[in-house]
């Protein structure tokens, strides 16, 4: 069987590209080493972590319900039930994807793929398959520390943390990045004593610095423990758990013990067994596949996208890249849209465009508009007064340059912000839109009015 397109990897990069390619009339084969589709995102990433965040969030809301006039007695966190629900959510999505593959006549090919050269792959159990275009979307795996290899029992990666049999009494989270903070919050809400050990002196260093500062303030208020500026040098197993050792910001030794440790120090490209070296595909120093702006590798007709090429490790980035690529292959004129960054902590964090630090570094003159959630009627009604909307605009033209949000539901709100930025709108245009009242979206309007002429209504 010869295909127009063979796609390796059924994560949000590969499967979305497969569906779009099939819609455009390509004959598509989707190759996946595991028996189920969805990649990191569906199986051990976005969806299971959000299912657990929702369950732990429901528990937390019930625990605080007294302040809302709701009396709850006998409240308990049933962790095994939460894990079982999470597994059900994932399984439902597997069924949904199988339906979509059938509907779009995509060939599901299970096996491990190895690149033989342009147009040819060998797939375990399937033999050699040929296609005009080969698309590699093999994603990423958790990175580990050389001195702290995960054992799956006490030193965990995010994958094991999502399916623990029991709630740990205490947890060290190594790394204050997105994954560590999200999972740390799940366990903290359910009663685990969580301490985050982070090398740098703040959270979310790649985002506008004000977001990380506000998130740190909120998480400390929730009583999550932080050891910022701490250099971890050893993580060892000991009776009853783990012990972490290293240096504090002053260079003094520190030692912390806990039942378990979650190593969340980033992710590395997953190219093992893919035959890239033998086929002569160029990788960068960190092992990511090198591509040109059209996602083409140095081999003709061989493309790569998603986590395996680096950049933001986000599911929607992988999907957007895949769609852009197959539309390009179908001779369409795809639009390269702005990729929002999101963190599903509580409060949530979301951003598009340039940060204040980036504008300063690029010497761009800008104005700032800001609006605090505590001045929003809806936020007060919801008991969710933390956070703000911050807009950065070009000083001369008023055109939006960056939108940075922290607060309730901002991972949904960011879609409006991304559209505004994508369409090159000015703060005035965003500010003059009518927003439903009372809604969290009003923070965006008010911040836009502030950025336009410093005349927000409620501040
Ligand atoms: P992947 O999803 O990693 O899929 C790659 C697939 O390729 C895998 O199924 C793999 O088995 C397969 N494969 C690899 N090599 C071969 C081979 N040789 N042959 C056959 N198959 C192969 N992102 C968000 O945007 N939002 C979130 O809320 C979010 N939460 C996350 C939470 C956690 C705990 C983690 C770990 C990640 C999270 N992410 C989130 C990141 C997101 O999961 C990734 O960015 C996304 O899955 C990348 O998609 P991908 O298609 O590039 O690769």
Q: How far apart are CA 430 and CA 103, in angstroms?
A: 39
d(CA 340, CA 403): 10
pLDDT of residue 2: 81
pLDDT tens-digit series, residues 382-396: 999 999 999 999 999
**Tally of CA atoms within 13 A in the half-sphere of 91 that contains its CB:** 6
To which residue do tokens 């029992």 refer? 153
pLDDT in tens, 20-62: 999 999 999 999 999 999 999 999 999 999 999 999 999 999 9
Decide whether any atom of ligand 1 lies within 6 Å of the 11 Cβ: yes
Give nearest CA residue, ligand 1 atom 29.
46
Q: Which residues of the chain have pLDDT under 70?
A: none
Distance 41 CA to ligand 1 centre (A): 5
Q: What is the pTM of this model?
A: 0.97
The three-state secondary structure class of 423 is coil
Enter the tokens of residue 255. Answer: 């030692």
33: Cβ below 6 Å to ligand 1?
yes
14 Cβ closer than 6 Å to some ligand 1 atom: yes
Axis crossing angle, helix 79-103 with helix 14-23, rounded to the nearest 10: 30
End-to-end CA distance of the chain: 65
CA distance 440 to 373: 8
pLDDT in the model for residue 205: 87
For residue 451, give the H/E element and its range.
helix 442-453
Q: Which ligand 1 atom is the nearest neighbour of the CA of 271? A: 15
For residue 427, what are the β-bridge partners?
Answer: none
The pLDDT value recorded for residue 52 is 98
Residues with catalytic function = 437
Q: Is the dihedral of CA 9, 10, 13, 15 positive or negative?
A: positive
Nearest to 459 by CA among 265, 291, 295, 448: 448
């Amino acid at each position: 069987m010869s295909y127009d397109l063979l796609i390796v990897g059924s994560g949000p990069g590969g499967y979305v590209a497969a569906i779009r390619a099939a819609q455009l009339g390509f004959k598509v084969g989707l190759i996946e080493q595991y028996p189920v589709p969805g990649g990191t995102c569906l199986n051990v990433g976005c969806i299971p972590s959000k299912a657990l965040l929702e369950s732990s969030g429901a528990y937390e809301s019930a625990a605080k319900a007294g302040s809302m006039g709701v009396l709850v007695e006998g409240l308990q966190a049933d962790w095994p039930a939460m894990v079982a629900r999470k597994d059900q959510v994932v399984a439902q999505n597997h069924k949904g994807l199988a339906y979509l593959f059938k509907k779009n006549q995509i060939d599901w090919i299970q096996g491990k793929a190895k690149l033989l050269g342009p147009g040819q792959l060998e797939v375990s159990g399937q033999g050699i398959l040929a296609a005009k275009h080969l698309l590699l979307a093999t994603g990423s795996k958790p990175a580990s520390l050389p001195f702290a290899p995960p054992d799956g029992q006490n030193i965990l990666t995010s994958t094991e943390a999502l399916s623990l049999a029991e709630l740990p009494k205490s947890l060290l989270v190594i790394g204050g990045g997105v994954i560590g903070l999200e999972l740390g919050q799940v366990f903290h809400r359910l009663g685990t004593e969580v301490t985050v050990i982070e090398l740098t002196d703040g959270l979310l260093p790649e985002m506008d610095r004000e977001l990380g500062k506000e998130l740190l303030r909120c998480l400390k208020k929730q009583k999550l423990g932080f050891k910022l500026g701490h250099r971890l040098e050893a993580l060892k197993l000991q009776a009853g758990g783990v012990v972490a050792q290293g240096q504090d910001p002053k260079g003094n030794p520190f030692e912390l013990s806990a039942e378990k440790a979650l190593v969340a120090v980033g992710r590395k490209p997953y190219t093992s067994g893919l035959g890239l070296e033998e086929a002569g595909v160029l990788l960068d120093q960190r092992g990511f596949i090198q591509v040109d702006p059209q996602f083409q590798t140095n081999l003709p007709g061989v493309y790569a996208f998603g986590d395996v090429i680096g950049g933001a490790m986000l599911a929607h980035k992988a999907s957007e890249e895949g769609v852009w690529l197959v539309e390009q292959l179908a001779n369409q004129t795809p639009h390269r849209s702005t990729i929002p960054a999101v963190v599903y902590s509580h409060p949530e964090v979301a951003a598009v465009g340039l940060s204040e630090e980036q504008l300063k570094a690029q010497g761009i003159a800008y104005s700032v508009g800001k609006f605090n959630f505590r001045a929003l009627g809806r936020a007060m009604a919801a008991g969710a007064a933390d956070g703000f909307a911050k807009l950065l605009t070009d000083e001369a033209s008023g055109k939006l340059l960056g939108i940075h949000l922290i607060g309730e539901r901002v991972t949904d709100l960011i879609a409006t912000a991304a559209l505004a930025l994508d369409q090159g709108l000015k703060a005035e245009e965003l500010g003059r839109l009518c927003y439903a009242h009372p809604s969290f979206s009003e923070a965006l309007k008010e911040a836009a009015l502030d950025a336009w002429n410093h005349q927000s209504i409620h501040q």
